[in-house]
């Protein structure tokens, strides 16, 4: 299987300055479809609908987590005048768990609970503290 660098190198070679705008757009389209196919293979997904629902779950969870952050910041009284030394750690402490929970909930609502649950387990398995 090709690495991502090899894929990008091959893609860059195919786009030259002499080609027309339409040809470049066509190549980019093929590259995008190729990358989506790679995601389907990596995530063991059978249909394009599943892929679309999963990508929607990622994007909705990201957007919703920002709304959660905004609500929590206003609830605890963080304003624009608050020091970045306070805001940034709070931002990370709020966004990370909010995103994980929202991704699981939204993934379930979109019918992709199995994928969302496996993805969450994979994310949290990376946080094991080793002795």
CA 103/CA 90 separation, integer angstroms: 20
- Range from 2-6, 12-16, 111-115, 119-123 carrying the lowest mean pLDDT: 12-16
Separation of CA 85 from chain center: 27
Tell me the per-residue pLDDT of 73-98, one tens digit each, with 9 for 90 and over: 889 888 888 888 988 888 888 888 89
Quick check: 107 and 57 in contact, CB under 8 A?
yes
**Predicted local confidence at residue 130, as pLDDT:** 55
Average pLDDT over residues 55-81: 91
Q: What is the pTM of this model?
A: 0.72
Helix (H) / strand (E) containing 53: helix 48-76
Residues 6+ apart with CB under 8 A from 18: none
CA 84/CA 61 separation, integer angstroms: 25
Tell me the per-residue pLDDT of 115-129, one tens digit each, with 9 for 90 and over: 999 999 888 888 775
User: Residue 17 burial by CB count (10 A; 0-12/13-18/19+): exposed, middle or buried?
Assistant: exposed
**Predicted local confidence at residue 31, as pLDDT:** 82
Residue 13: is its pLDDT beyond 90?
no
């Amino acid at each position: 299987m090709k690495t991502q660098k090899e894929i990008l190198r091959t893609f860059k070679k195919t786009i030259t300055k002499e080609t027309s705008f339409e040809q470049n757009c066509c190549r980019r389209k093929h590259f995008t479809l190729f990358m989506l196919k790679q995601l389907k293979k990596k995530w063991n997904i059978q249909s394009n609908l599943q892929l679309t629902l999963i990508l929607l779950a990622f994007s909705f969870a990201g957007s919703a987590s920002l709304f959660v952050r905004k609500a929590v910041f206003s609830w605890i009284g963080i304003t624009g005048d608050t020091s970045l030394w306070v805001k940034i750690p709070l931002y990370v402490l709020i966004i990370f768990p909010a995103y994980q929970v929202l991704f699981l909930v939204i993934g379930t609502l979109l019918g992709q609970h199995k994928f969302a649950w496996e993805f969450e387990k994979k994310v949290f398995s990376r946080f094991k503290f080793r002795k």
